[in-house]
Structure 1
């Protein structure tokens, strides 16, 4: 059995966990200020054909932060900071509790916390769905390790949830706060995310991505997005999930793990996720 210095490395090493990222992005779009920032400033919104480029960039950043080397992590943090520098504006129309003209910024700690929480929650959900169940202490450990992103994002210590309980409490507060509202911008972005223009050979993978993204969403958000989700879709997700989880231990490493994880898992210090980034922005 492979051992890893950090639980975050064990979890993030698995390629299959990417099936949870669509859920995370849909949760992010459900915050009107995040949706506005993506719609107005992202190349993805302007050209759905860039979905693969966006996904590749996100995966590369995740691997850089988790497996390094340090220079790669610093470069990834610098790229994220430069993108965030360009993302600020105001809502063009009212959505939920937000009036037209409400300002937004990708450097807003509250928006960064929401994006981070959706990624952590969805990653753990996908890992447990497709790889193996985690003990409560392991969920806490992953959240605590992921909190090291505060330094990379320039956030104050304690901004991000440091345990599974804190994460779930935060998500529950957000759910009841009225801030999470699926507007028309979110629905348009969701269509571009789930039905991108892709080569024929990638369409089966896109169908699996779409099934997981919609199926793993909370039911109330699935309804808010107006997704068509039938009993046969739920059955298909259950069957595919069980099949992947049952066969995953026999997948060859080249298929199961990201290359950076296979190459670097023995070389990382335990403090790997908490190198500061402020001086490199």
Structure 2
């Protein structure tokens, strides 16, 4: 993968500090996948803290997104030993294309969510352009791109299908998601609990039995406006 150009939407947005505000979404979507939850529980040095795990993994992921193929191969190789059986008794390997791609897809989904919520809605052409840059990001890992949806529309259908049919609250996931609403070691530890719930997909809130009221939705919209305003002021816009 060649390094994205300075006009790259991917480089622009993965370098945006607001991206980390969407990480609870990526973390939840990963941990509700039985294979990824089992791999995190069985192989992580920090099996009881999803935020320490993510804090250690994210810099490599972002470096790959910015165009470092060497880092992408390193990320791939770090997954080579992650294998076993999930809580449903099914064998898994972290480098199985369907599993590895799902992990990538959660970061892509979180990226688009961050932009929509905390920046601005992208137009159709920009959305497709960014998605294609995310496809190049995935290919830089050197894992089969067989599961990769070819375009943005196919990606949204893929996400909907996965959320409805593949995600489950397994015992491993339940143990790891216990602190999902409390990102204490995370850079944005002051992110309000309702905002963490708000950034999650509705399907995730249902699986985790998290409440979501009209008042929560109003507070989350106010929070998003405040984030956008602070970002514009910081940039002098």
Q: Same fold (TM over 0.5)?
A: yes
Provide closer, same or farther for how the CA distance between residues 187 and 28 of structure 1 changes in structure 2, counting only shifts above 3 A.
same
* Residue equivalent to 1:127: 115
Q: Distance in 2 between matches of 1:15 and 1:143?
A: 20
1:110 is displaced (CA, Å) by 0.4
* Residue equivalent to 1:245: 228
1:196 is displaced (CA, Å) by 5.3
Note the residue ranges of structure 1 that are not aligned, 5 or more in a row. Answer: 95-99, 254-281
Answering whether residue 166 of structure 2 is matched by residue 179 of structure 1, we say: yes
1:135 is displaced (CA, Å) by 0.5
RMSD of Structure 2 on Structure 1 (CA): 2.6
Answering whether residue 64 of structure 2 is matched by residue 65 of structure 1, we say: yes
Q: Residue 104 of structure 1 is aligned with which of 84, 87, 92?
A: 92
Q: Distance in 1 between matches of 2:127 and 2:142?
A: 24
Note the residue ranges of structure 2 that are not aligned, 5 or more in a row. Answer: none
Q: Deviations over 1:109-133 (max 9, x none)?
A: 0011211222111211111211122
TM-score (norm 1): 0.73
* Residue equivalent to 1:84: 79
Q: Which has the larger radius of gyration?
A: 1
* Residue equivalent to 1:217: 200
The secondary structure found in structure 2 opposite 1:43 is: coil
TM-score (norm 2): 0.85
Q: Distance in 1 between matches of 2:147 and 2:31?
A: 21
Provide closer, same or farther for how the CA distance between residues 128 and 4 of structure 1 changes in structure 2, counting only shifts above 3 A.
farther
* Residue equivalent to 1:277: none
Total equivalences in the alignment: 232
1:220 is displaced (CA, Å) by 3.0
Structure 1 ranges of 4+ moved more than 6 A: none
Q: Per residue, is there more helix in 1 or in 2? A: 1
Q: Deviations over 1:136-168 (max 9, x none)?
A: 111111110111134322233453224210111
Between the two structures, name the one with larger relative contact order (CA 8 Å, sep ≥ 6): 1
